[in-house]
Amino acid sequence: MNSSLVGNQSGRPFCLLAISYLETINFCLLEVVIIVFLMVLIISGNIIVIFVFHCAPLLNHHTTSYFIQTMAYADLLVGVSCLVPSLSLLHYPIVLSESLVCQIFGYVVSVLKSVSMASLACISIDRYIAITKPLTYNTLVTPWRLRICILTIWLYSCLVFLPSFHWGKPGYHGDVFQWCANSWNTDPYFTLFIVVMLYAPAAFIVCFTYFNIFRICQQHTKEINERRVRFSSQDGEAGEAQPCPDKRYAMVLFRITSVFYILWLPYIIYFLLESSNVYSNRVTSFLTTWLAISNSFCNCVIYSLSNSVFQKGLKRLSGAICASCARQRVAKDSSTSRSKRSSNGCHV
């Protein structure tokens, strides 16, 4: 804390990653580059995901598309909210006080990432129901119930982090603000409250459902292969092993969930260590926070690389954009050629 105050007295900006800064630069260059780079990736990636879902009706065949789109909208808002710390690091004047901006930003980003975490848990429950109760799935999981579930996710996320304005810091999203780093501390009881109400239930649900999903799929694959071998031996033809069809789609969702928790694990560990006064470091705080926020872009990459229907929708979207550009180019060329012909006719 003393070092940061000394830095302010000397006229240098408050920077968490103050590494080899030039005296002529009056803002936190490295932090701005990291945040703006992630902001561009997150916004562009999630806009593409949202457009592809609208261009590919087959993606809406799965009920999990509701939760995937909810995550895409939440991640898009995370990217938009990153504009706030980037403007602060650039010393852009903000109308509200720094403490209020810091608290609002930390609350908003925490709520949005809570929506993503809860959506992943709901996706795993949805797949678990689809595999364990395939005959009654359509009656249990209806569009109306899905909308109620998504609304509940948003309301629950907003309520869980609401005490942060009086109880303590919900995370390290606002540490780019000096007031957040120096004056807004975490509270061990509030940390325990968040773990009990959000982190632990979501992690338990994901582990339980995917463990049982893959166990059931493994049993189904074994039974299908045994039947194929039995019938193929009777016909005198060799049977090939066939994977469980539900396992392929579950693997895509499992990759998204795994990457989410891998990127968020350093943040959660540091959050717990700092709250219990075991370890505190501003550089670690910044890096773990923005590593966790980078997950908002990773979901787009994983889904686009793993889902064949999404890839077709992406090709369809890019094809439509290219066709529109080509039509505009042809129209421009034709108008140019007409203007040349008319000008030549005037001079004859």
Query: So what's the pLDDT on residue 10?
Result: 44
pTM of the model: 0.74
The number of domains in the chain is 1
Residue 309's contacts (CB-CB under 8 Å, 6 or more residues apart) are: 56, 58, 59
Residue 333 lies in a domain: no
Q: Do 71 and 116 contact (CB within 8 A), yes or no?
A: yes
**For 201-220, how does the pLDDT look when each residue is reduced to its tens digit (9 = 90+)?**
988 998 888 888 888 877 87
Q: Do 157 and 197 contact (CB within 8 A), yes or no?
A: no
**For 79-102, how does the pLDDT look when each residue is reduced to its tens digit (9 = 90+)?**
888 777 766 665 566 666 777 888
Residue 55 lies in a domain: yes
For every residue of 209-232, which 3-state class applies, written as one string?
HHHHHHHHHHHHHHHHHHHHHHHH
Residue 337 lies in a domain: no
Structure tokens at 157: 């996320």
Residue 168 lies in a domain: yes
Q: Do 198 and 160 contact (CB within 8 A), yes or no?
A: yes
Residue found by looking up tokens 């789109």 in the block: 69
Q: Which amino acid is at 1?
A: M
Decide if pLDDT at 106 tops 50. yes
Q: Do 289 and 171 contact (CB within 8 A), yes or no?
A: yes
Beta carbons within 10 angstroms of residue 98's beta carbon:
15
Nearest-angstrom CA–CA distance, 175 and 205: 31
Percentage, residues of the chain above pLDDT 90: 5
Structure tokens at 109: 């980003």
Quick one: which of 1, 129, 49, 18 has its CA closest to 306?
A: 49
Nearest-angstrom CA–CA distance, 220 and 226: 10
Structure tokens at 339: 């203007």
Q: Which is higher by pLDDT, 336 or 240?
A: 336
Residue found by looking up tokens 């990759």 in the block: 255
Q: Which amino acid is at 127?
A: R
168: left (phi over 0), alpha (psi -120 to 50) or beta: left
Q: What share of the chain is helix, strand, coil (3-state, %, to 5)?
A: 80, 0, 20
Domain residues for the domain of 256 are 27-226+244-320
Residue 282 lies in a domain: yes
Decide if pLDDT at 347 tops 50. no
Average pLDDT, rounded, for the chain: 74
Residue 160 lies in a domain: yes
Query: So what's the pLDDT on residue 156?
Result: 94
Sequence-ordered alpha helix ranges (H) in the chain? 2-9, 29-55, 64-81, 83-89, 98-132, 137-140, 143-160, 164-167, 178-182, 188-194, 200-235, 245-275, 282-293, 295-306, 308-347
Burial degree of 115 (CB within 10 A; 0-12, 13-18, 19+): buried
Residue 83 lies in a domain: yes
Which CATH number does the domain housing residue 100 bear? 1.20.1070.10
279: left (phi over 0), alpha (psi -120 to 50) or beta: beta
The model's confidence at residue 7, banded by pLDDT at 50, 70 and 90, is very low
Q: Which is higher by pLDDT, 43 or 336?
A: 43
Q: Do 109 and 160 contact (CB within 8 A), yes or no?
A: no
Residue found by looking up tokens 């949005």 in the block: 112
Residue 135 lies in a domain: yes
Q: How far is CA 19 from CA 26, 29, 85, 125, in A?
A: 14, 10, 19, 45
